[in-house]
Structure 1
Amino acid sequence: MESYLAHIQRDPSDKIIAVQSVSKHCHNTARYAAAALEPVGLSAAGEAVGLLHDLGKYSEQFQDYIKDGAGTRGSVNHTFAGVRLLLERYHHEPPEDLADIAAELLALAVGGHHGGLFDCVDDQQKNGFRHRLTKKEIGYEEARDNFFRFCINQEELDQQFQAALNELTPVLEHICAMTGEEVSDERYDQETAFYSGLLARLLLSAVIEGDRRDTAISMNGAAFPPARSGEELEQMWFTLLTRTEEKLNAFSSKTPIDQARRMISNQCGQAAEQAGGVFRLSVPTGGGKTLSGLRFALAHARKYRKQRIIFTSPLLSILDQNAKEIRKYIQDDSLILEHHSNLVRTEENSEQLDERELLTETWEAPVIITTLVQLLNILFSGKTTCIRRFHSLCNSVIVIDEVQTVPSKMLSMFSLAVNFLAEICGVTVVLCSATQPCTEQIEHPIHGPIRDIVPYDPALWQVFQRTDIQSVGSMSLEQIADFAVKKLEHVDSLLIVCNKKNQSEHLYSLLKDKSFALFSLSAAMCVTHRRDTLNKLKSALGQSSQKTVCVSTQVIEAGVDISFGCVIRLSAGMDSVVQAAGRCNRSGEAGPGVLAPVYLVECQQENLSHLPDIQLGKDATQELIAEFAARPEQFQHRLDSDASIEYYYRALYRREPAGHHDYCVKDRPSLFSLLSLNGQYAQEHPYYFNQAFRLAGTLFEVFEENTTDVVVPYKESEALIAGLCSEKAQRDPFYLRSLLEAAKPYTVSLYQYQIDRLNEEHSLIPLQGGALGLSGHYSAETGFSMGESNLEFLWR
């Protein structure tokens, strides 16, 4: 009987209560990794990586460590051995053929299953493969021999490698053909290397999934739902589609807008019959994009037996609105996972599985509702919790709402990732926006042609023209407040959208105590607070006896089904301006043919030095306004026409510095460079892969500011914070998970300087599960504020 152990579970008294052999764990991991990659035809590759990932545990050094139980996590290296076996047995220096590339791919996944993909060449020009081949005192020969004795013999391993190579060969050949012959050799090599890196990430995702899943099942008794067969998937999607279409068909078709929305929805249902790839869903604001996108996704998933549908939104306010709509039509919460705030923090370099990682979502639900940030983290973050979910994207439909909000700094990486998902992973990608970016203008574009789900129809679009965007020059905040009061004489409701929270706070204070209902909305308010405020705001808008004003940041701009009689937007990019206009006269309340005013104001003395993307967008908008004033007929006399939006994006891309879309990093090569050829660091290294994966993963963040989610004192969260401080939460992981899930709608994201200051004031409470709670500093009107404090919160 094998005596080499992969895991040992102990009770609080340090008594051993469960063990698992290395052989059992490797075979189980191989089976789960193979299943994870089966949708893309790489199950043999997944099985190979799973078998080899813990080869290093077959050493006496590791066995002494794990049986002692007193060692420091990660103090015994066990990930290098599998890498070394693959490279010694199947690799030539330099690479000679696809078998060598396949060996490197498998080695990257084996060597990265705990800490993420390692640097093939780091910023000190150290070669990660060579380092793993030459590392001393890791018990390699002993571990290798025991692996062949207890887990799989040499002949079987050779057969497994050949099966993996047979699967990987057509994928690698496809990657080499993806760029096209018309581009320069350098760009071809860059993109080919980038795609190959994503393939390595996909393999790593599968082995992390298999490793964590087997550990959770074997050592913690976790239960995972069984995978659905193709027939079961088709039947499930058919049921959901039928349910959705029945509700959609019950909608009224009395008004022209109702009729136009129905026509758009029907076209989405018909377009779903087309084969997968990349689609564009461009409909005017108010055209029913969420439900039309849902109909397309369900119909397409049914026809092509997709594993899941993933809806992403750029802002929590949009996600909250969309999730509510989607749940109404799916009518089965057991099929839906809403994932948008991860309070569970894990140790990324732990030798043993961090139990808190078991509290994170694995994205196995058929319908995922999440944020754009989560999707981008899955694609590019170095955290194993993010990498783990990559395989869950395969054979899915991904609907990216408000795609124009993808940060421009990462457009190259995003576009190429979309190509990889569509062409290698069998993903159907739907890019949704009323202001589609001109992706063909960037150096590394999404492969075209991108198919329009709803072709442009001037007559259909005319129905949704309900506003007139007007530039009214420059004003101070005080003048903007006076301007708002004056405009309120002619309408019953007014929305002011600001670029910065301090602007909205100041305008709120200037407008307070007037003879109208006043509301504030911003990301400084937790989701529950924003939801409550929106409900109160909608109720106020429905009362004709009182005028209503809302001062907001960009959180209200998209996905929020609300309508005002007039909008004032502080100058920003035209994509934001058009979204703000979508909150005006949304259902034609002003009357047939009446265009409600949307005033575009340049705020005097506005400092956007810490928001360079907003400043670039604002400058491009000002250029458009100047051109529009000179030749309005060129833009169909509308600032929001297709011609205007195209001019805006071209102006924006001209203003952005060279290489901006490649994710530039101060004093470093761009992340795109690090994830492709890595030319600055990699010089004549004898391997195909030269990427600095770990460095790039560490540097990647969707937004540059370092933010932390904090549970705020709002309504029921007081009891949740108390629960998260309790001994029961420390002892009971299931109780802890329920509290963390319940706390998600009561969190706000704070910058590091805010966290530091709050720590100095002792206003942050450490909670179980790695979370933080806020004591005071929260206003019932405007949300989090450094100036608001109520230290009695937890102790009254």
Structure 2
Amino acid sequence: MESYLAHIQRDPSDKIIAVQSVSEHCHNTARYAAAALEPVGLSAAGEAVGLLHDLGKYSEQFQDYIKDGAGTRGSVNHTFAGVRLLLERYHHEPPEDLADIAAELLALAVGGHHGGLFDCVDDQQKNGFRHRLTKKEIGYEEAKDNFFRFCINQEELDQRFQTALKELTPVLEYICAMTGEEASDERYDQETAFYSGLLARLLLSAVIEGDRRDTAISMNGVVFPPARSGEELEQMWFTLLTQTEEKLNTLPSKTPIDQARRTISNQCGQAAEQPGGVFRLNVPTGGGKTLSSLRFALAHARRHRKQRIIFTSPLLSILDQNAKEIRKYIQDDSLILEHHSNLVRTEENSEQLDKRELLTETWEAPVIITTLVQLLNTLFSGKTTCIRRFHSLCNSVIVIDEVQTVPSKMLSLFSLAVNFLAEICGVTVVLCSATQPCTEQIEHPIHGPIRDIVPYNPALWQVFQRTDIQSVGSMSLEQIADFAVKKLEHVDSLLIVCNKKNQSEHLYSLLKDKSFALFSLSAAMCVTHRRDTLNKLKSALGQSSQKTVCVSTQVIEAGVDISFGCVIRQSAGMDSVVQAAGRCNRNGEARPGVLAPVYLVECQQENLSHLPDIQLGKDATQELIAEFAARPEQFQHRLDSDASIEYYYRALYRREPAGHHDYCVKDRPSLFSLLSLNGQYAQEHPYYFNQAFRLAGTLFEVFEENTTDVVVPYKESEALISGLCSEKAQRDPFYLRSLLEAAKPYTVSLYQYQIDRLNEEHSLIPLQGGALGLSGHYSAETGFSMGESNLEFLWR
């Protein structure tokens, strides 16, 4: 009987209550990794990686560590041995053929199953493969001999490698042909390397899944639901589609807008019969995009036996709104997983919490509702919890709502990942937006043609035209306030959207004490405060006895179902302008045939030096306005026409500096460089892979996390702040965690200079768990404020 152990579980008294041999664990991991990659035809590759991943545990050094607790967790290296065996047995240096590339792919997955993909060449020009080949004192020879004795013999391993190679060969050949012949040699080499890196991530995802799944089952008794067969998937989607279409058929169809929504929905159902790939859903605001995309996704999943549908939204407010709508039609919460940061957890014990965390790590539910941040982290973050989810994207439908919100700095990464998902992983990607970016026009584009689910139809689009966007030139904040008061003479409600919080705060002060109801919305207000304000605002808008004005930042532009008679938008990118226009005459409240006004105004003395993306968008919009003024017929006489939006994006991309979309990093190569050729660090090429995977994964973040969340004093949060200061929070980690979860809707994000100022004033309260509470500096009207009101502060 084998005495080499992979896992030991002890009770609180240190008594051993469960053990698992290395052989059992490696074979189980191989089986689960193979199943994870079956949808893309790479199960043998997954099996090979699973068998080899813990080869290093066959050393006496590791056995002493695990049995006697000799050393701290992770102190004994067990990941290098499998890498070394693969390279010594199946690889030539330099690589000669696809077998060498396959060996490197498997080695990357074996070597990364604990810390993520390693740097093939790091920023010190050290080669990760050679480092693992030459590392001393890891008990390699001994571990290798025991592996072949107890786990699998040499001939069987050679057969497994050859089977894996047979699977990987057509995939690698396809990757080599993904970038078209029209591309330059440099672009071809870059993109081919990038796609190959994503393939390595996919293999790693499978072995992490297999490793953690087997450990959870064998050592913790976790029960996973069985995978659905193709027939079961088809039946499940058929049932969900049928009940969804039956519910859609009960919606009213009296008005032209109702009828247009039904036409769009029907077209989505018909388009779902097409083969998979990349689709565009360009629906006017109010066109029923959420339900139409749901219908397409369900019908397409049924037709092509997709494993799951993943809905992503850029903002939690949009996600919450979409999730409610989707749940209403799916009607079975057991099929749905919501995964996002603001989900308040209600688990009552650690077992329930572990189950939820397991679901969010695996993304196994048939319907996933998540944020764009979580999707992008799954594609690019170096964290193993994110990498694990990557294989769950295979054979799915991914609906990306408001795709224009993908940060422009990472469009190269995003576009190439979409190509990989669609062409290698069998994913159908739906790009949803009323202002579709021209991703085919960037240096590393999404492969076209991108198919339109709903073809442009002027008569259909005409029904949803409820606003007229007009440029009214340049004004000071005082002039904007006067302009708003004047326009309010002709409408009952008005919205002003600013680029910066301090501008909105100043405008609010200028409009205060007038003869109308006044509201403020911004990210300086915690989520609960914003929700309360929105409820009061909607109530005020529903009363005709008093006029209503709201001064807001961009937080109102998406995911907020609200309508004003007129909108004033400070000049910004057209994607933001169109979103703001979507809050105007939203439900056709104006008289039939009357287009409600949306005024685009350039704010004088505006300083956007710390907001370069807004500045670039604003400049591109101003270029569009100038061209529109000269040739309005070229844009169908509308600033929000498809021709206008296309012109805007072309102008934007022209203005962005070279390499802007490659995710530039200060004093480093771009992430696209690190994830492709890594030319700045890789001077020699003894291996095919040269990427600095770990460095790129560490540097990646969707949005710069240069802020600190602070719990503000608003309503119930004062009791939470008190609880977070208590002794119970100090000694009870589950109680502390529940308080921190409950406090999330009462936090605002502050920059470091604000934290420093508040510390100087002793206005921050240290809380358990590393959290901070705010004392003062919070207004029931406008939220957090440093108290500065001079105009000099406005422009900095």
With the shorter chain as reference, the TM-score category is: over 0.9
User: Alpha-carbon deviation of 1:222?
Assistant: 3.2
Q: Distance in 2 between matches of 1:438 and 1:12?
A: 59
User: Alpha-carbon deviation of 1:10?
Assistant: 3.2
1:377 touches 1:701 (CA, 8 Å); kept in 2? yes
Q: Which secondary structure does the structure 2 equivalent of 1:794 belong to?
A: helix
Tell me: CA distance 1:784–1:234, structure 2 relative to 1, closer, same or farther (3 Å): farther
Q: Distance in 1 between matches of 2:764 and 2:195?
A: 43
Q: Distance in 2 between matches of 1:649 and 1:355?
A: 44
Q: Distance in 2 between matches of 1:59 and 1:343?
A: 44
- Single out whichever of 530-539 and 145-154 deviates more from structure 2: 530-539
User: Alpha-carbon deviation of 1:504?
Assistant: 2.1
Tell me: CA distance 1:414–1:346, structure 2 relative to 1, closer, same or farther (3 Å): farther
Q: Distance in 2 between matches of 1:154 and 1:352?
A: 44
Q: Distance in 2 between matches of 1:372 and 1:720?
A: 29
2:342 touches 2:745 (CA, 8 Å); kept in 1? no
Tell me: CA distance 1:580–1:356, structure 2 relative to 1, closer, same or farther (3 Å): closer
User: Alpha-carbon deviation of 1:128?
Assistant: 0.6
User: Alpha-carbon deviation of 1:237?
Assistant: 1.5
Tell me: CA distance 1:90–1:773, structure 2 relative to 1, closer, same or farther (3 Å): farther
User: Alpha-carbon deviation of 1:28?
Assistant: 2.2
2:361 touches 2:386 (CA, 8 Å); kept in 1? no
User: Alpha-carbon deviation of 1:282?
Assistant: 0.6
Q: Distance in 2 between matches of 1:129 and 1:606?
A: 52
Tell me: CA distance 1:755–1:578, structure 2 relative to 1, closer, same or farther (3 Å): same
- Single out whichever of 665-674 and 763-772 deviates more from structure 2: 763-772
Tell me: CA distance 1:17–1:767, structure 2 relative to 1, closer, same or farther (3 Å): farther
Counterpart position of 2:202: 202
Q: Distance in 2 between matches of 1:433 and 1:795?
A: 32
User: Alpha-carbon deviation of 1:507?
Assistant: 2.2
Q: Distance in 2 between matches of 1:732 and 1:456?
A: 58
2:778 touches 2:784 (CA, 8 Å); kept in 1? yes
1:50 touches 1:210 (CA, 8 Å); kept in 2? yes
**Structure 2: 5+ residue stretches without partners:** none
1:8 touches 1:67 (CA, 8 Å); kept in 2? yes
- Single out whichever of 767-776 and 169-178 deviates more from structure 2: 767-776
Counterpart position of 1:501: 501
Q: Which secondary structure does the structure 2 equivalent of 1:714 belong to?
A: coil
Tell me: CA distance 1:500–1:598, structure 2 relative to 1, closer, same or farther (3 Å): same
1:348 touches 1:384 (CA, 8 Å); kept in 2? no
Tell me: CA distance 1:491–1:518, structure 2 relative to 1, closer, same or farther (3 Å): same
Tell me: CA distance 1:793–1:616, structure 2 relative to 1, closer, same or farther (3 Å): closer
Matched, 1:514 2:514: yes
2:345 touches 2:741 (CA, 8 Å); kept in 1? no
Superposed CA deviations along residues 369-415 of structure 1, whole A, max 9, x for unmatched, are 11111111111111112111111111111111111111111111111
Counterpart position of 2:120: 120
Superposed CA deviations along residues 709-742 of structure 1, whole A, max 9, x for unmatched, are 5555555556666777788888988877766665
2:503 touches 2:794 (CA, 8 Å); kept in 1? no
Percent identical: 97
- Single out whichever of 718-727 and 639-648 deviates more from structure 2: 718-727
User: Alpha-carbon deviation of 1:591?
Assistant: 1.3
Q: Which secondary structure does the structure 2 equivalent of 1:792 belong to?
A: helix
- Single out whichever of 461-470 and 318-327 deviates more from structure 2: 318-327
- Single out whichever of 515-524 and 590-599 deviates more from structure 2: 515-524
User: Alpha-carbon deviation of 1:264?
Assistant: 0.6
Q: Which secondary structure does the structure 1 equivalent of 2:704 belong to?
A: coil
Q: Distance in 2 between matches of 1:14 and 1:473?
A: 75
- Single out whichever of 616-625 and 59-68 deviates more from structure 2: 59-68
Q: Distance in 1 between matches of 2:46 and 2:344?
A: 27
Tell me: CA distance 1:321–1:675, structure 2 relative to 1, closer, same or farther (3 Å): same
2:10 touches 2:16 (CA, 8 Å); kept in 1? yes
- Single out whichever of 328-337 and 581-590 deviates more from structure 2: 328-337
1:344 touches 1:771 (CA, 8 Å); kept in 2? no
Tell me: CA distance 1:693–1:153, structure 2 relative to 1, closer, same or farther (3 Å): same
User: Alpha-carbon deviation of 1:112?
Assistant: 0.8
User: Alpha-carbon deviation of 1:769?
Assistant: 7.6
Q: Which secondary structure does the structure 1 equivalent of 2:19 belong to?
A: strand
1:55 touches 1:79 (CA, 8 Å); kept in 2? yes
User: Alpha-carbon deviation of 1:508?
Assistant: 2.5
User: Alpha-carbon deviation of 1:284?
Assistant: 1.1
Tell me: CA distance 1:738–1:376, structure 2 relative to 1, closer, same or farther (3 Å): same
1:498 touches 1:504 (CA, 8 Å); kept in 2? yes
User: Alpha-carbon deviation of 1:3?
Assistant: 2.5
Tell me: CA distance 1:238–1:727, structure 2 relative to 1, closer, same or farther (3 Å): farther
Counterpart position of 2:157: 157
Tell me: CA distance 1:352–1:766, structure 2 relative to 1, closer, same or farther (3 Å): farther
Counterpart position of 2:406: 406
Tell me: CA distance 1:265–1:788, structure 2 relative to 1, closer, same or farther (3 Å): farther
2:707 touches 2:751 (CA, 8 Å); kept in 1? yes
User: Alpha-carbon deviation of 1:539?
Assistant: 2.2
TM-score under structure 1 normalisation?
0.92
Q: Distance in 2 between matches of 1:711 and 1:312?
A: 27
**Structure 1: 5+ residue stretches without partners:** none
User: Alpha-carbon deviation of 1:498?
Assistant: 1.4
User: Alpha-carbon deviation of 1:535?
Assistant: 2.7
Tell me: CA distance 1:350–1:465, structure 2 relative to 1, closer, same or farther (3 Å): closer
- Single out whichever of 18-27 and 314-323 deviates more from structure 2: 18-27
TM-score under structure 2 normalisation?
0.92
User: Alpha-carbon deviation of 1:150?
Assistant: 2.1
Q: Which secondary structure does the structure 2 equivalent of 1:690 belong to?
A: coil
- Single out whichever of 350-359 and 178-187 deviates more from structure 2: 350-359
1:778 touches 1:788 (CA, 8 Å); kept in 2? no
Tell me: CA distance 1:219–1:732, structure 2 relative to 1, closer, same or farther (3 Å): farther
1:778 touches 1:789 (CA, 8 Å); kept in 2? no
Counterpart position of 1:773: 773
Q: Distance in 2 between matches of 1:501 and 1:105?
A: 48
Q: Distance in 2 between matches of 1:214 and 1:725?
A: 40
1:763 touches 1:791 (CA, 8 Å); kept in 2? no
Superposition map of 1:304-323 within 5 A: 304-323=304-323
- Single out whichever of 250-259 and 7-16 deviates more from structure 2: 7-16
Q: Distance in 1 between matches of 2:367 and 2:463?
A: 32
Counterpart position of 2:625: 625
Superposed CA deviations along residues 478-513 of structure 1, whole A, max 9, x for unmatched, are 222222222222111111111122222222333333
User: Alpha-carbon deviation of 1:423?
Assistant: 0.4
Tell me: CA distance 1:243–1:747, structure 2 relative to 1, closer, same or farther (3 Å): farther
User: Alpha-carbon deviation of 1:147?
Assistant: 1.6
- Single out whichever of 626-635 and 338-347 deviates more from structure 2: 338-347
Q: Distance in 2 between matches of 1:788 and 1:319?
A: 34
1:280 touches 1:431 (CA, 8 Å); kept in 2? yes
Tell me: CA distance 1:371–1:782, structure 2 relative to 1, closer, same or farther (3 Å): farther
2:496 touches 2:568 (CA, 8 Å); kept in 1? yes
1:775 touches 1:794 (CA, 8 Å); kept in 2? no
Q: Which secondary structure does the structure 2 equivalent of 1:360 belong to?
A: helix
2:119 touches 2:692 (CA, 8 Å); kept in 1? yes
Q: What is the aligned-residue RMSD (CA, Å)?
A: 4.7
- Single out whichever of 660-669 and 766-775 deviates more from structure 2: 766-775
Q: Distance in 1 between matches of 2:346 and 2:109?
A: 20
User: Alpha-carbon deviation of 1:29?
Assistant: 1.9
Tell me: CA distance 1:86–1:328, structure 2 relative to 1, closer, same or farther (3 Å): same
2:316 touches 2:342 (CA, 8 Å); kept in 1? no
Tell me: CA distance 1:452–1:360, structure 2 relative to 1, closer, same or farther (3 Å): closer
Tell me: CA distance 1:30–1:739, structure 2 relative to 1, closer, same or farther (3 Å): farther
Q: Distance in 1 between matches of 2:148 and 2:432?
A: 52
Superposed CA deviations along residues 160-180 of structure 1, whole A, max 9, x for unmatched, are 212211211111111111112
User: Alpha-carbon deviation of 1:693?
Assistant: 0.8
Tell me: CA distance 1:118–1:154, structure 2 relative to 1, closer, same or farther (3 Å): same
User: Alpha-carbon deviation of 1:518?
Assistant: 2.4
- Single out whichever of 558-567 and 207-216 deviates more from structure 2: 207-216
Q: Distance in 1 between matches of 2:457 and 2:219?
A: 59
2:359 touches 2:365 (CA, 8 Å); kept in 1? no
Tell me: CA distance 1:718–1:232, structure 2 relative to 1, closer, same or farther (3 Å): farther
1:779 touches 1:785 (CA, 8 Å); kept in 2? yes
Tell me: CA distance 1:385–1:70, structure 2 relative to 1, closer, same or farther (3 Å): same
Counterpart position of 2:645: 645
User: Alpha-carbon deviation of 1:329?
Assistant: 1.6
2:344 touches 2:741 (CA, 8 Å); kept in 1? no
2:506 touches 2:789 (CA, 8 Å); kept in 1? no
Q: Distance in 2 between matches of 1:345 and 1:673?
A: 39
Q: Which secondary structure does the structure 1 equivalent of 2:791 belong to?
A: coil
2:467 touches 2:595 (CA, 8 Å); kept in 1? yes
Superposed CA deviations along residues 414-470 of structure 1, whole A, max 9, x for unmatched, are 111000000001100001111111122111111111000000001111111111111
Q: Distance in 2 between matches of 1:526 and 1:35?
A: 44
User: Alpha-carbon deviation of 1:641?
Assistant: 1.5
